[in-house]
Structure 1
Amino acid sequence: MLNPLSVQLLMPLAGSGGVTNVFESLSNVAPELRNLVSSFKAERGSVCEGHRIVLTPARERSTVLSCNILKVNDRTLMTTLTDISRQVEAERWARQNESWLAGIYTSVNEFAFLTLDASGRVDSWNTSIEQLTGYAEVDVMGQTLDQFYAPDDVDDYRCPEHIALTREEGWHVQECWCQKKNGRRYAAQILVAILRQDDGEFAGYSVVLRDVSERKITSDELTRLLTTDYLTGAMNRAHFFKLADKEVERSKRSGKPLSFVMIDADHFKRVNDTAGHQAGDKVLTQIVLEARRSLRSIDVIARLGGEEFCVMLPATAADGAMLIAERIRATIEALRIETEAGQLAVTVSLGCASLTNEIASVQDVLAVADKALYTAKETGRNRVEG
């Protein structure tokens, strides 16, 4: 007995006598069915499940049936035929896409692709990661993005901050220094985007990690010219205030502290008047160089004008800022600068301030730091106040 749908599926294969027997109708495309049945010796049970039969091989699309045969008894077989052509086509496209992706992963050396789970930990790995970074699957699975950052470019909020911005905006890009497994540093661009399930529910994050070292070599020189003080190499005033505004917003979102230190060279006019402007320029340059020795890679020193500088200290509370300021003061006090006018000693005065609920903008916190600097000047110079 054949139902109408079976007849419809088998009709193209039937001869002039029509569809009367499943095995006869399929003999040209699935002759193995008779053997499957004859070799099944149990009294009853499943002869085959999901056995695929290609009815009409075609260049673009084939008609494919899934055949299930159930032996009821020695005289009765129950056969079901299901058209799975669309499923097979989808599988073909999936395999093709996987091949394309595999080709991309293995041929593109500047990019790595991975995914993070909802907690921000790596939950998928492919060869592109190892080609770019040198890390094998066992190195990265279950780790956060901190795994890829250069050690001196990692702080306790970089990865959570990147994830938080992605959750807020849907995607986020940052540039930073990363490090390969062999220890080589490289300039990287990291794109993180939200992944969603078919129903729109949040599922995790997709990540593209890109090596931009070659591009950065050419663009860094332009960036340096636009953002750096020409004399001292410190960040210039305009770029500093742009960066400080962003850092204040970051601090408010993350709840991490943020501190600033104002620095002013003591008796600098006397240096210019007695030793000359070239000596004065060298003093300013040395102040920046020595201050940087006391700072982390995430800290910033900028020249605000004349002999006045400002240090921005992310993730640093007031007591930490005072310690760093004192270290800078002591380092510069011990400095002896060789100039054409002879050896010069120089000192600096410093004022510290931190972001609070009441002191909540760059202008406000710098005003407090400037007031502390004034106090240091008025109470003897070569001091730290805050």
Structure 2
Amino acid sequence: MNSIEPGADSIESEYEALLSFMYLSPVGLVRTNPSGVIDMLNPMATQLLMPLVKLTGLENLFETLSSVAPELRNLVTSFRESCGSICVGHRIHVSPASEGGIVLTCTIVKINNEVLITVLTDISCQVATERRLRQTDSWLDAIYTIVNDFAVLGLTKQGVINSWSPSAERLTGYAESEAIGETLRRFCNLPDVDVDVFDEHLTFAREEGWHSRDYLCQHKSGHTFFAQTMIAVLREEDDEFSGYTVVCRDITERKVSSDNLANLLTKDHLTGAVNRAHFFNLAEKEFARANRYGQSISIIMLDADHFKQVNDSWGHPMGDEVLKSIVKIAEGVLRPGDTIARFGGEEFAVMLPKSNGLEASVVAERLRSSIEASSVSSAGGEIKITVSIGCASMSESRSTLKQLLVCADAALYHAKSKGRNCIVDIDDF
């Protein structure tokens, strides 16, 4: 009897130490089964997850995170090892920067076939710092690296060119007489959807003191080049705002290599669609533009029907081909300014700037019918796929990205409950 008691006391004290560690840990710790059902979590995890808790309560981790990280369940089910790290430092963007910019990192470790441990850490401050550094780095790099060519010019308070230097003529090929009285838009190749980009650039410069942005420009001879353009506010001695100073530099050579890197950081590696994090970055800019100019934005949530059956019947490689085909079809249907992002697994989000509910429904039907009419070839025959779609457009009650995503997601699941291969607009139910 005496030989057993010390061991029992030791186990009990170790268990109490473990509970104390979980309770006091500065990171969120959650213990679940492979389906995500929670049986233990510490106060920090509760604090981090509470903003995402729905009416059903904090019972299943994957369901709680489904609106911001639907891919987690798929990562877990796809992990075939008996134990090990399922994901490490996976970023979850809970809200875009315009709504507080909450970002968590998620690490999931499979202990055995019955237990998963998830570690959640709030890195919002770190991400905000990264964003600020990216903005300033672009211009600091222009100072400390070799400059192919540059131009200096002046703008009136209305954004009209009122001074033109020899360097500006050298960069663009246009003489002073051809430039004075024009705007910067005269020298850039911009799609119709970006007609307001220069007005935004001037607005941001006024608000921040200066602002930098890259443009695809066209030389008078016809050749194109990328220019990094900094617009700084010009003030008189009495601090009265009197116009802008503009400095442009040719960054074509650097742009090519940086675009390759940007694709690695902003695109989904499988489908080529925009990834979730970059989608939030793009959406933040579009919502700022929409609010500034009184424009509308619509969000479409799209989910492949019975996708698990595709993987089970045809194998995961063919399932991957189906996902890639969905993105390819969508890119053929969408406008240049629209964005399709892979949100995780077989779920995609589409952002439609300057689109109301009726216009979004038209695009959604083109997507649905085009995908239904297509097929993916395999050794065993043609694979047919359909999609369910949910739509939501900006309104007084849906003025933020988060609200639009939640509503579009609700409409998507209503479309699935109606039998799939259909479109539901949030305003229709």
TM exceeding 0.5: yes
Identity among equivalent positions (%) equals: 50
Question: Alpha-carbon deviations, 1:262-310, whole Å to 9, x = none?
Answer: 1111221222122221111011011111111222333221100000001
Q: In the alignment, what sits opposite 2:351?
A: 312
**Shift in Å, 1:377:** 2.0
Question: Residues 57-206 of structure 1 correspond to what in structure 2 (within 5 A)?
Answer: 109-152=148-191, 155-206=194-245
* Residues in 2 aligned to 1:331 and 1:185: alpha-carbon distance in whole angstroms: 35
Q: Which runs of 5+ in 1 are unaligned?
A: 1-107
Tell me how large the CA RMSD over aligned residues is. 2.2
Q: 332-341 vs 306-315, which deviates more?
A: 332-341
Question: Alpha-carbon deviations, 1:36-70, whole Å to 9, x = none?
Answer: xxxxxxxxxxxxxxxxxxxxxxxxxxxxxxxxxxx
> What code does the residue aligned with 1:311 have?
V
* Residues in 2 aligned to 1:183 and 1:348: alpha-carbon distance in whole angstroms: 43
* Residues in 2 aligned to 1:187 and 1:342: alpha-carbon distance in whole angstroms: 46
Q: In the alignment, what sits opposite 2:369?
A: 330
- The answer as to whether partners of 2:184 and 2:198 remain within 8 angstroms in 1 is yes
**Shift in Å, 1:367:** 0.6
Q: SS in structure 1 opposite 2:415? A: helix
* Residues in 1 aligned to 2:369 and 2:178: alpha-carbon distance in whole angstroms: 43
- The answer as to whether partners of 2:148 and 2:251 remain within 8 angstroms in 1 is no
Q: In the alignment, what sits opposite 1:384?
A: 423
Q: In the alignment, what sits opposite 1:278?
A: 317
Answer yes or no: is 1:260 the counterpart of 2:299: yes
**Shift in Å, 1:207:** 1.3
- The answer as to whether partners of 1:109 and 1:131 remain within 8 angstroms in 2 is no
- The answer as to whether partners of 1:233 and 1:285 remain within 8 angstroms in 2 is yes
* Residues in 1 aligned to 2:276 and 2:345: alpha-carbon distance in whole angstroms: 11
Q: 317-326 vs 163-172, which deviates more?
A: 317-326
**Shift in Å, 1:242:** 3.4
> What code does the residue aligned with 1:112 have?
A
**Shift in Å, 1:153:** 6.9
> What code does the residue aligned with 2:423 have?
V
* Residues in 1 aligned to 2:221 and 2:381: alpha-carbon distance in whole angstroms: 46
Return closer, same or farther for 1:118/1:124 CA change in 2, 3 Å cut-off: same
Q: 278-287 vs 357-366, which deviates more?
A: 357-366
**Shift in Å, 1:355:** 2.6
- The answer as to whether partners of 2:340 and 2:351 remain within 8 angstroms in 1 is yes
Return closer, same or farther for 1:163/1:350 CA change in 2, 3 Å cut-off: same
> What code does the residue aligned with 1:244 have?
A
* Residues in 2 aligned to 1:351 and 1:183: alpha-carbon distance in whole angstroms: 44
Return closer, same or farther for 1:214/1:332 CA change in 2, 3 Å cut-off: same
> What code does the residue aligned with 1:187 have?
F
Return closer, same or farther for 1:287/1:251 CA change in 2, 3 Å cut-off: same
**Shift in Å, 1:138:** 4.6
Answer yes or no: is 1:366 the counterpart of 2:366: no
Q: SS in structure 2 opposite 1:214? A: helix
- The answer as to whether partners of 2:298 and 2:394 remain within 8 angstroms in 1 is yes
**Shift in Å, 1:221:** 2.5
Return closer, same or farther for 1:184/1:349 CA change in 2, 3 Å cut-off: farther
* Residues in 2 aligned to 1:134 and 1:109: alpha-carbon distance in whole angstroms: 15
Question: Residues 27-46 of structure 1 correspond to what in structure 2 (within 5 A)?
Answer: none
* Residues in 2 aligned to 1:367 and 1:111: alpha-carbon distance in whole angstroms: 46
When normalised by structure 1's length, the TM-score is 0.67
* Residues in 1 aligned to 2:284 and 2:370: alpha-carbon distance in whole angstroms: 29
- The answer as to whether partners of 1:244 and 1:362 remain within 8 angstroms in 2 is yes
When normalised by structure 2's length, the TM-score is 0.60
- The answer as to whether partners of 1:262 and 1:370 remain within 8 angstroms in 2 is yes
Question: Alpha-carbon deviations, 1:176-200, whole Å to 9, x = none?
Answer: 3333334433333221111123332
- The answer as to whether partners of 2:215 and 2:227 remain within 8 angstroms in 1 is yes
Question: Alpha-carbon deviations, 1:2-58, whole Å to 9, x = none?
Answer: xxxxxxxxxxxxxxxxxxxxxxxxxxxxxxxxxxxxxxxxxxxxxxxxxxxxxxxxx
* Residues in 1 aligned to 2:221 and 2:370: alpha-carbon distance in whole angstroms: 35
Q: 128-137 vs 365-374, which deviates more?
A: 128-137
**Shift in Å, 1:142:** 2.2
Indicate which of 214, 217, 221 corresponds to 2:260.
221
* Residues in 1 aligned to 2:192 and 2:221: alpha-carbon distance in whole angstroms: 17
Aligned length: 279
* Residues in 1 aligned to 2:381 and 2:401: alpha-carbon distance in whole angstroms: 40
Indicate which of 206, 211, 232 corresponds to 2:250.
211
